[in-house]
Amino acid sequence: MLHIRFNLNGKDVDADIHEGTRAIDLLRDTFELTGTKESCGQGECGSCTILLDDEAIHSCLLLAAQMEGCRVVTIEGLEKEGELDALQQAFLDAGAIQCGYCTPGMIMAAKGLLLHNPAPTAEEIRDAMAGNLCRCTGYKKIGEAVSLAADRQRN
Amino acid sequence: MTGEFTSIGKRVPRSDGRQKATGAFRYMTDIPREDRLYGALVHPRCSHALVDGIDVSGALACPGVVRVVTAKDVPGLNRHGLIWKDQPVFCDRVVRYSGDTLADVIAVTPEIALRAAALVRVSLSPLPEVLTPEEALAQGAPAIHDGGNLAAEYSFAKGDVADAFSRSDVIVEETFLTPYQEHAYLETEGGAARPLPGGGVEIWEGCQNGIRAARDLALILNVPEERVIVHSHPLGGGFGGKDDLTLQGILAVCAHACGKPVQIDFSREESFLVSPKRMPMKIRMKMGATWEGKLLAISVHLLGTCGAYACYGPAIMSLALEHACGFYLFPHVEVAGELGYTNNSLVSAFRGFGNVQVNFAVESMMDMVAEKLGMDPVAFRRMNALRPGVRTSYGYLTSPSVYADGVLGKLEETELWRDRESFRQSAPKPWLKRGVGMAACFQGVGLGNHCFPDSARARVDLREDGTFLIAFSNEDMGQGNVTTLQMMAAESLKVPLSRIEAVCGISGQVPESGATTASKTTYLTGKAVLGATEKLLAAAGKALGCGRDDLVLDDGGANGRPWSEIYALLPPGERSWEGSSEFQYVEERYDFGVHYVYAYLSQVAGVEVNTLTGEVRVLKTEMIPASGRVINPLGFEGQCEGGAVMGMGYALHEDFSVPGNPRGITRNFQTYLIPTMADMPDIAVTAMEESEVTGPFGASGIGESVAVTGSAAIMNGVFDAVGIRIRELPCSRETLLREINGNNKKTER
Ligand code: FES
Ligand code: FES
C-alpha cells in the first residue's frame, strides 16, 4: 500500500493505493470520475487522456503512484462554475460528438495542445490528435471544433 | 427550404452533447459499483472441440472466488440468436469458435476473477476445424451443427442469361474478395446485472434492441418476460455489432446463480475475440452489355460465412443478394448466394450489411464495363439506372422516390469530378500518381421483408407543466436518433425543442420500436412519434372545442392557450397517446428479402498512390446522399463524414485477420488499424433533399448508405491513378506495389 497526495481538478486529494494501481482505475473507481474512458488499455486509442501537469497523457498507462504531487485534470475539471470550457462548447457547437465515448479523451488531448500552442494550424491539430481514435465522426468536426475553440479563446 | 419549419432543418447540437462534453454522461459501463461481484470468462484455446469436462476446483480454491458458473447453471434455454437460436450462452457439448464461453469465474474483485479464470481446467477433444466457407461446404466436411454447414442459400433468376451473354458485345467477369471488418466501437461490451427479488434480473448493458434482449433473457432464465428489465441505452458506438446479445445472457445467468449483482467488462482483446465482424465474401460477377451501353445480363454468385452461429448471417446474405445488381437495370439476371458455418469469428450486422461487399464488386464492374465500351463511367451508369415507376432488375416496384439518376447527375457537377483532369495533374512528385473514382449505391431502409416484421410504436405524454415526453425503445448509439425524434415531435407540436424530453432503451417502460438498426429509426419510429403527436393534437382540438384542423399552434400552446392549460382541460386518459408505424412491403416475394423504400447516394474520391511504397491516400471525397429531407444537418453531416472515413478504413487498412489459426492474429488496435485524424481526407457533403414521399416530413434513413460506396470509389480512383484494378480488400501496400512493379508501363499514363 502507498499513500499519495495530488491535486485533482483543483482540489488537494489523497488516496491509498497498491503499487500496481493504474491512474485510470483510481480516477474511475475511487474518485468516481467516470468521464475518463478506457477503450484499449494499451495506449492505442486516447480515450483515457487526462492532463498531468498540463501534459496530455494516457491514464491507462500511468500508474496512480506517478500522480503523487502532480496537478491532475480530468474532463470533469474543465467546466468552471457551470460554464463550459471553450473546447467543450466548441465540440458541442461543431457537432463533434456522436456516441461521445472518445469525447473526453479528445477534449483533453486538445486541451493539452492548446495549452502549449494556442493557435494551432489544421496540420498541427491533426498531428497532436492522431493518437485519439474516434469510430463515429470521421474526425472532420473534431478538427473544426478544436480550431473553433482556439479562435474563440484568442478573441 | 427550412422556412416552413420551426425545428426541422436547423443545425441542432445533440441533446445529450453537453453531458457528453463534460464527462457527466453515464454509459452502462460507468454505473457506480456498489456491492457487486466481478466475472472473468473462460474461452477455449481451440475453435472446434467436444467438451469432455470442466474442472473448476482450482479456481474455486482461490480466496475471493465466489462461484464458477457454467452451462449447468442456465435455468432455461441455453441458446440465443437473432434469427435462429443456435448460440449457447455457455458452451455445453461443443466448442464452435474460440470466442465461445465455457465458464465465468465470479470473484470479489476483477483481478481475482481474472487470475482464477486461468486456473479453470477444461478437457476438450479436438475436432477438425473448418475455417473457410469453401471448406465448410465441400463434400464430407466435418459438420459444425447437426444440420450440416449450409446456413442459408438463396437465389433468383429472370430471363435467359446464357442467351443474353451470347448477344452481349462486351462481357466482364471477375472475382472479388472482401475481408472481415471489426466494428471497433470505442466502448467495449460490458455491464452489470442484479437479481430481482422474486426471480428474474435487472440488467445494464448497451444494446441495439433491449426489448428483444429481454425476451431472449426471459427464455434463458426461464422466467416471464416482465421479470427481466433491460437498460440498453446509451451505447458508446454500435454499428450493428451490439444488435444481438453480447454479455447479457452471461450476466443474467451469473446474477441469478450468485444471488448478487455481477459485473463484467470486456477488454479490447476480449471484445475483438468474442464479437461478430462484417461478413467476408467471395463475389463472382459477370456483366454483359451492348456497344450502345445497354446492360443486358448479370450473373452473381456470393459465398460467405456467418462463423460458428447464424447470428444475422442469413439476413446479410439476403441483403447482399438484394443489392447485388446495384441500382442498375438488367433484363436478364441470375443471382445466388450460399452461407456456410465455419469455426471462425462470428459474423453479424454491420452498417450497410451485405451491401458494402457487393457494392465494391458492382461498382468496380460498372467502371470496367464502361472502360471496355469507351464510355464515361457516369454516363454509362445513368443510362442504366433505376427510375421512378420502373421495376427493378428483380421485377418489383419501389417507392416512387427514386434518386439513382439524381445522385449521379449531382456527382457530375462536383468540382472534383468536373476538374478531375487537373486533380490528376496536381501530384507534387513524379512517383505520386493521382486519380479520381466514383461509385453509387442504394440501400434498403429497414429490415425488408425477409425475416422479421418491422414495425415501431412510440408514445407522447403531455405533462402538467406543459412540456412533453416522448418514449420509444430505440437506443442512441451515437447516431443521434434521440435528437432527431425530439425535433420531429417539436416540429409537429410547434414547440421549442427544449420542451421535448425523450426516454428510450428501458424494457417494460417504453413502447417497442424495434431494433435500432438498418437505417430505419428516423423513418419508422419518426412516423410512430408523429402518429402519437397527431392523436394528442386531435384530443387537444376536441378539448378546445374545435377540430384538429382548426387548431392553431403557436410557440407554447394552441389557440392561444398554453399547453399547461390544455393539460388541465384534457381528461386524464387523453394526455398520453401512442402511435405506430409499419413499413410498406412490395407485393412480390423472393427467396431473399427486398425493400420498398431505399436511400440513394453517390461518392467521388480523389486518391493519391505512392508508387514507391504502395500507399494509397484519399485526399478528397465528396458525398451526395439522397435520403429525403434532412432533419438535423449537423447530425446528418456527421453520419456522412463518419461513414466516409469508415468506408475508407475498409478499403485501405482494416482486415481482421483470422488466417489458419481461427483465434486470429488481430487482437487490438496495434494490428487492427482504423483511420485516425492523420488519415482524414477533405470531406464534403452535398445532400439532395428531395423528399421520400412515404417518410415522416419526407425523410428516410442515412445511417448505412454512407459506409457503402467508399471502397469502390477509392479503388476506381486507384485504377484511374495507376491503371491497376484491385479485386481484393483491403488494398494492401504489398499487393499494389507488386502490381505496380509488374505493370510499370501502365503507370506512365
Ligand atoms: S484506454 Fe488508454 S489509450 Fe486506450
Ligand atoms: S463519437 Fe463515438 S467514438 Fe468518437
Distance CA B469, CA B509 (A): 13
Whether residue B438 is contained in a domain is answered as yes
Q: Tell me whether residues A91 and B21 touch, CB distance under 8 A.
A: yes
The domain that holds B636 is classified in CATH as 3.30.365.10
The Cα-based distances of B738 to B368, B614, B743 in angstroms read 21, 8, 8
Q: Tell me whether residues A92 and B236 touch, CB distance under 8 A.
A: no
The domain that holds A42 is classified in CATH as 3.10.20.30
A132: contact with B, CB 8 A cutoff? yes
B35: contact with A, CB 8 A cutoff? no
B629 and B539 share one domain? no
A101: contact with B, CB 8 A cutoff? yes
The domain that holds A90 is classified in CATH as 1.10.150.120
* Predicted local confidence at residue B32, as pLDDT: 77
Q: Which of B304, B249, B298 is nearest to B133 (CA)?
A: B304
Q: Tell me whether residues A101 and B17 touch, CB distance under 8 A.
A: no
Collect all residues of chain B within an 8 Å Cβ-Cβ radius of residue A100: 16-17, 20-21, 25, 236, 478
Q: Which three cell numbers stand for residue B289?
A: 452489355
Closest Cα of chain A to B615: distance in Å?
18
* Predicted local confidence at residue B660, as pLDDT: 60
Whether residue B163 is contained in a domain is answered as no
Q: Tell me whether residues A78 and B22 touch, CB distance under 8 A.
A: yes
Closest Cα of chain A to B152: distance in Å?
31
Q: Which of B186, B242, B646, B674 to mutate to test the pocket of ligand 2 (most atoms within 8 A of CB)?
A: B186
Q: Quote the number of domains for chain A.
A: 2
A12 and A70 share one domain? yes
H or E segment and range at residue B663: none
Cβ-based burial of A40 (10 A; exposed 0-12, middle 13-18, buried ≥19): buried
Whether residue B329 is contained in a domain is answered as yes
Q: Which residues pair with B443 in a beta bridge?
A: B599
Collect all residues of chain B within an 8 Å Cβ-Cβ radius of residue A89: 21
Over chain B, what is the mean pLDDT? Answer: 95
Q: Tell me whether residues A98 and B678 touch, CB distance under 8 A.
A: no
Q: Which of A40, A108, A137, A146 to mutate to test the pocket of ligand 2 (most atoms within 8 A of CB)?
A: A137
Alpha helices in B168-226 (DSSP H): 210-221
The domain that holds B232 is classified in CATH as 3.90.1170.50
A32: contact with B, CB 8 A cutoff? yes
| Rg over CA atoms, chain B | 27
Q: Which of B22, B504, B523 is nearest to A97 (CA)?
A: B22
Q: Shortest CB distance from A140 goes to which of B24, B670, B683?
A: B683
Q: How far is the CA of A46 from the centre of ligand 1 (A)?
A: 5
Neighbours of B141 (CB within 10 A): 17
Tens digit of pLDDT for each residue in B467-496? 999 999 999 999 999 999 999 999 999 999
Tens digit of pLDDT for each residue in B281-290? 999 999 999 9
A71 and A122 share one domain? no
User: Residue B669's closest chain A neighbor by CA?
Assistant: A44
Q: How far is the CA of B248 from the centre of ligand 2 (A)?
A: 23
Distance CA B705, CA B626 (A): 10
Across B429-445, b (16+ Cβ under 10 Å) vs e yields eeebbbbbbbbbbbbbb
Distance CA B742, CA B749 (A): 15
Q: Which of A27, A48, A103 to mutate to test the pocket of ligand 1 (most atoms within 8 A of CB)?
A: A48
Collect all residues of chain A within an 8 Å Cβ-Cβ radius of residue B189: none
Q: Tell me whether residues B185 and A99 touch, CB distance under 8 A.
A: yes
> Which protein residues are within 6 Å of ligand 1, measured from CB?
A 38-41, 43-48, 58, 60
Tens digit of pLDDT for each residue in B666-709? 889 998 999 999 999 999 999 999 999 999 999 999 999 999 99
Whether residue B113 is contained in a domain is answered as yes
B567 and B683 share one domain? no
The residues, any chain, with a CB within 8 Å of residue B205's CB and separated by 6 or more, are B28, B189, B190, B191, B192, B193, B230, B231, B232, B246, B247, B248, B251
A65 and A103 share one domain? no
Q: Is pLDDT at B144 greater than 70 in this prediction?
A: yes
| Rg over CA atoms, chain A | 15
Q: Quote the number of domains for chain B.
A: 3
Q: Shortest CB distance from A45 goes to which of B25, B186, B480?
A: B186
DSSP 8-state symbol, A102: S
Q: Which of A40, A102, A133 to mutate to test the pocket of ligand 1 (most atoms within 8 A of CB)?
A: A40
Tens digit of pLDDT for each residue in B401-431? 999 999 999 999 999 999 999 999 999 999 9
B409 and B496 share one domain? no
* Predicted local confidence at residue B665, as pLDDT: 76
Cell 465474401 belongs to which residue? B281
User: Residue B268's closest chain A neighbor by CA?
Assistant: A40
B129: contact with A, CB 8 A cutoff? no
Whether residue B162 is contained in a domain is answered as no
Q: Which residues of chain A from 1 to 20 reach within 8 Å of chain B, CB to CB? A: none
A98 and A138 share one domain? yes
- Mean pLDDT, residues A89-112 taken together: 98
Ligand nearest to the CA of A109: 1
Q: Tell me whether residues A135 and B268 touch, CB distance under 8 A.
A: no
B420 and B306 share one domain? yes
Nearest CA, atom 3, ligand 1: A43
A104: contact with B, CB 8 A cutoff? yes
Q: Tell me whether residues A135 and B676 touch, CB distance under 8 A.
A: no
DSSP 8-state symbol, B280: P
Tens digit of pLDDT for each residue in B164-185? 999 999 999 999 999 999 999 9
φ, ψ for residue B114, nearest 5 deg = -65, -45
Ligand nearest to the CA of A95: 2
* Residue B237 φ/ψ region, left for φ over 0, alpha for ψ in the -120 to 50 degree band, beta for the rest: left
B334 and B460 share one domain? no
Cell 444471488 belongs to which residue? B259
The residues, any chain, with a CB within 8 Å of residue B580's CB and separated by 6 or more, are B455, B456, B457, B458, B528, B531
For residues B746 and B97, which has the higher predicted lDDT (pLDDT)? B97
In the listed set A28, A56, A77, which residue is the last one of a domain according to the structure? A77
A99 and A65 share one domain? no
Ligand nearest to the CA of B186: 2
* Predicted local confidence at residue B698, as pLDDT: 95
Domain of residue B197 covers 33-127+189-265
- Mean pLDDT, residues B715-735 taken together: 96
B513 and B543 share one domain? yes
Whether residue B272 is contained in a domain is answered as no
Collect all residues of chain A within an 8 Å Cβ-Cβ radius of residue B477: 99
B284 and B328 share one domain? yes
Collect all residues of chain A within an 8 Å Cβ-Cβ radius of residue B234: 99
pLDDT category of residue B3 using cuts at 50, 70 and 90: low
In the listed set A24, A57, A77, which residue is the last one of a domain according to the structure? A77
* Predicted local confidence at residue A102, as pLDDT: 98
Distance CA B36, CA B425 (A): 64
Q: Kindly report the CA angle at B668 between B666 and B673, in degrees rounded to 5?
A: 80
- Mean pLDDT, residues B377-382 taken together: 98
Query: What angle do the packed helices A122-129 and A103-116 form, to 10 degrees?
Result: 130
pTM score of the predicted model = 0.97
Q: Tell me whether residues A135 and B683 touch, CB distance under 8 A.
A: no
B114 and B224 share one domain? yes
Which of A84, A97, A121, A124 has the most B C-beta neighbours within 10 Å, making it the best mutation to test the interface with B? A97
Whether residue B178 is contained in a domain is answered as no
Q: Is pLDDT at B566 greater than 50 in this prediction?
A: yes
The percent of residues in chain B predicted with pLDDT above 90, rounded, is 93
Closest Cα of chain A to B179: distance in Å?
18
> Which protein residues are within 6 Å of ligand 2, measured from CB?
A 97-102, 134-137; B 186, 237, 478
* Predicted local confidence at residue B588, as pLDDT: 93
B361 and B343 share one domain? yes
B229 and B373 share one domain? no
The percent of residues in chain B predicted with pLDDT above 70, rounded, is 98
* Predicted local confidence at residue B502, as pLDDT: 98
B405 and B299 share one domain? yes
Tens digit of pLDDT for each residue in A4-48? 999 999 999 999 999 999 999 999 999 999 999 999 999 999 999
Q: How far is the CA of B362 from the centre of ligand 2 (A)?
A: 31
Task: Answer whether B281's CB lies under 8 Å from B361's CB.
Answer: no
Q: Is pLDDT at B523 greater than 60 in this prediction?
A: yes
Ligand nearest to the CA of A46: 1
In the listed set A13, A43, A77, which residue is the last one of a domain according to the structure? A77
Q: Which residues of chain B from 678 to 697 reach within 8 Å of chain A, CB to CB? A: 678, 680, 683
Nearest CA, atom 3, ligand 2: A134
A103: contact with B, CB 8 A cutoff? yes
Q: Which amino acid is at B622?
A: E
Domain of residue A122 covers 86-154
Q: Tell me whether residues A35 and B22 touch, CB distance under 8 A.
A: yes
Tens digit of pLDDT for each residue in B621-648? 999 999 999 999 999 999 999 999 999 9
Q: Which three cell numbers stand for residue B15?
A: 441533446
Q: Is pLDDT at B452 greater than 80 in this prediction?
A: no
Whether residue B159 is contained in a domain is answered as no
Q: Is pLDDT at B450 greater than 90 in this prediction?
A: no
